[in-house]
């Protein structure tokens, strides 16, 4: 909005020429989202408490978590509000990729909201059924993938990290591949959201990482020099990534240990979908496995635990899944698990960024 209002005036006021630069608008989108979360955070927490939207803690979970029962959840609404407002303020709203990514994020937010609303407000014990939730995720992911596939000049080849000459073309199958990436990322972040600050930290780190890739992918000169696929218009996604990173930091102000609020499914599902759709649009689909390595580890730990339990008639690989609970039951304090996972996320982000030169 500010881009469309102020940049046309640069011929009269040369200082407004800064609005043409994605880097400038990305920085201020991040700052805007951060300030929205910090300034509205306390008010949002009071509203959630008034609605009696308190976190339910599973009895079979770690005993140390029982004290968290009643902590306000659905804080993801604040994250989505901050992301949406800051993106609309600072982005070029004529960019189709930007709208695809933002609407996909908000679409998955609706799924999470419905689940949280049924469970927390309507006191429906399980919220949306697993089957209904998954079906809606696939539907939204499929719609996003079809629109991406239909974008003019969009390349259906898959980029392999560290390899510049290997790019298999999936053709029409790219739609299903993209859907898998978006839905898988959404559920992986959802599984990671189990400790104070555990999910939002790696999401913020991943958003900053994809901010770099979006900027490079949308810049013909840099993309050509670094030998990564050029995606005309993808650079504007850097502003959305900046907004997510800023909102993540702002939410962490209240979500850090001991958490005053949790994001709920209305936060974790859309943030995961955002990472998935951004990876697809920037042609870094498989790089998401590295950038979001924490989320992959958490999801795989659940798959292995459930599969091994069924195959062996009740035996377990981990003391508890997802993986962060395993370390808790080994005696690690919650804050130590979180910080160590953040450190791993930073290292994985650096490895991902290094692929820009290692090809």
Residue-range domain boundaries for the chain: 92-243+257-354
Q: What is the largest CA-CA distance in the chain?
A: 75
Inform me whether the pLDDT recorded for 124 exceeds 80: no
Inform me whether the pLDDT recorded for 65 exceeds 70: no
Inform me whether the pLDDT recorded for 57 exceeds 60: no
Beta bridge partners of 10: none
pLDDT at 53: 76
Contact 215/242 with Cβ under 8 angstroms?
no
Contact 144/182 with Cβ under 8 angstroms?
yes
pLDDT at 44: 96
Mean pLDDT of 176-202: 96
The percent of residues in the chain predicted with pLDDT above 70, rounded, is 94
Residues 6+ positions from 354 with CB-CB distance below 8 Å: none
Mean pLDDT of 266-278: 98
Mean pLDDT of 200-229: 96
- If one compares 250 and 64, the residue with the highest pLDDT of the two is 250
Mean pLDDT across the chain? 92
Helix (H, G, I), strand (E, B) or coil at 157: strand
- If one compares 358 and 77, the residue with the highest pLDDT of the two is 77
């Amino acid at each position: 909005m500010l881009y469309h209002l102020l940049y046309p005036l640069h011929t009269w006021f040369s200082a407004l020429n800064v609005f043409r630069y994605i880097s400038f608008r990305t920085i201020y989108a991040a700052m805007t989202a951060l300030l929205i979360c910090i300034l509205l955070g306390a008010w949002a927490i009071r509203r959630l408490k008034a609605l009696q939207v308190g976190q339910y803690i599973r009895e079979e979970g770690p005993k140390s978590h029982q004290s968290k029962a009643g902590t306000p959840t659905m804080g993801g609404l604040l994250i989505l509000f901050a992301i949406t407002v800051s993106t609309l303020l600072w982005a070029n709203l004529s960019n189709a990729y930007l709208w695809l990514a933002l609407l996909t994020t908000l679409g998955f937010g609706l799924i999470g909201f419905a689940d949280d609303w049924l469970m927390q407000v309507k006191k429906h014990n399980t919220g949306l059924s697993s089957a209904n939730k998954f079906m809606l995720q696939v539907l939204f992911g499929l719609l996003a993938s079809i629109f991406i596939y239909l974008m003019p000049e969009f390349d259906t080849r898959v980029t392999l990290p560290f390899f510049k000459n290997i790019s298999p073309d999936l053709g029409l199958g790219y739609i299903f591949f993209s859907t898998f990436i978006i839905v898988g990322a959404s559920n992986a972040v959802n599984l990671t959201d189990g400790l104070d600050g555990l999910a939002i930290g790696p999401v913020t780190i991943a958003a900053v990482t994809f901010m770099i890739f979006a900027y490079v992918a949308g810049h013909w000169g840099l993309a050509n020099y670094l030998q990564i696929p050029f995606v005309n218009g993808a650079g504007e996604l850097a502003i959305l990534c900046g907004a997510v990173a800023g909102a993540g930091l702002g939410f962490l102000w209240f979500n850090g240990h001991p958490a005053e609020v949790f994001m709920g499914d209305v936060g974790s599902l859309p943030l995961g979908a955002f990472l998935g759709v951004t990876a697809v649009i920037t042609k870094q689909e498989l790089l998401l496995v590295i950038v979001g390595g924490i989320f992959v580890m958490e999801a795989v730990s659940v798959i292995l635990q459930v599969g091994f339990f069924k195959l062996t008639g009740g035996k377990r690989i981990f003391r508890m899944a997802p993986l962060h609970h395993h370390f808790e039951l080994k005696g690690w304090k919650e804050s130590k698990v979180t910080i160590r996972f953040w450190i791993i996320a930073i290292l994985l982000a650096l490895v991902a960024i290094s692929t820009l030169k290692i090809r």
